[in-house]
Amino acid sequence: MTMHGAKGLSGQIVFIPGLEEEILPGPWRQPYPGLVLEAARLLYVSITRARAACILSHARTRIVNGRFSRQTASRFCPHLGGYSQTEQVVFRLRRCKRYCKLALNCERD
């Protein structure tokens, strides 16, 4: 499911990968401040769809057009309240006992 498709829906655990500057907000939104704000709103809506936990991630490198490309975290990451540490994610997942196995699989860095 996409971020756009999640509007109005919710889930126990929501995964949001790809929080890189080149993906969210993305270079095509840069000249238009309104589109950057729309990307921030879309991320907020996606995060609030989670009932038990939301797992956010970004890559340090990606293969783009056949070459390794160094990625930077999205400008939205510093505003997410410090949930970038694995321990915090696992702690939140443990609150929902049925998903403990999933928490153990997500601990790998």
pTM value > 0.75: no
DSSP 9-68: --EEEEEE---BTTTTT-GGGTT-HHHHHHHHHHHHHHHTTEEEEEEE---SEEEETTEE
* 107 residue type, one letter: E
For 56-90, how does the pLDDT look when each residue is reduced to its tens digit (9 = 90+)?
888 888 888 999 999 888 888 777 765 444 444 44
The reported pLDDT for the residue numbered 1 is 65
The reported pLDDT for the residue numbered 106 is 40
Tokens of 22: 């080149």
Q: Where are the domains of the chain?
A: 14-105
Place of tokens 């126990």: 12
Task: Enter the CATH code of domain 14-105.
Answer: 3.30.160.800
Most distant CA pair in the chain: distance in Å?
A: 45
